[in-house]
Amino acid sequence: MTKKLNLNNIQALAIDMDGVLWRGDTPLPGLSKFFNFLEKRSIPFVLATNNAGKTPAQYQQKLANFGVALNPENVMTSSLATAAYLKREFNNGGSVYLIGGDGIRQAMRGAGFTVVNDAGRPVEAVVAGIDFNLSYDKLKYAVLLIQRGAQFIGTNGDVTFPAEEGYYPGAGSILAAIQAATGVKPVTIGKPEALMFELAMQKMGSRPNHTAIVGDRLETDILGGQRAGLKTILVTTGVDNEDSIAQKGIQPDAIFSGIDELVEVWQR
């Protein structure tokens, strides 16, 4: 079902992954057809995800497992956006303490930061994202360093993310625990903030009025796209659906049951 959107005016796409392309390790219907369509139409795209746990190369491998070839340069994660933000804030590099996985660790080191593993020395920032090996000690060190003056940065504020068996705690749940213990609100970088959309459009060489975000979450993908001036497409295979729109008060330009229906309508 479309609303207020001429798909023929779309020349580039920012595409969320979890809940749009797959749920957990299960590809969603139409995945290969979707990427074949983009290639045939020569539509540039960036996979723009708030998930900070994986590196672009790991996303490349995940899509390869689903039969889709991807260049890692087509991936923009909240880890990469966070690294870009911190490099701008601390142009001489410095030390950071991380809660997160390979994605944030690689991004920070690639931006010239030293990663500290405990609270034994001062750091410029505590950076927290999704961490599937979260422990009490990790939270404790983060809290101590923030109490001593480190900036508190969150890769994104998603409190949950969709998986095969339901919704798992997301990075926002970890941020909430640290904020509860410190009284300090984090600076969050991922969607709906503008930086990820700006970096994605730089990669594609596109302008907002001819770029659309395809996402499953209203308060990140759709709201962020609206703030950045993009067209917005909601697919209902992840977090939100038509019922969520009235509850959250965020109206996308178009709604589809999934990327398979999006391609079918776009081809017509």
141: left (phi over 0), alpha (psi -120 to 50) or beta: alpha
For residue 243, indicate whether it is catalytic.
no
Phi, psi of 217 (to 5 degrees): -125, 120
Q: Which of 16, 131, 158, 240 is catalytic?
A: 16
d(CA 185, CA 153): 9
For residue 137, indicate whether it is catalytic.
no
Enzyme catalytic residues: 16, 18
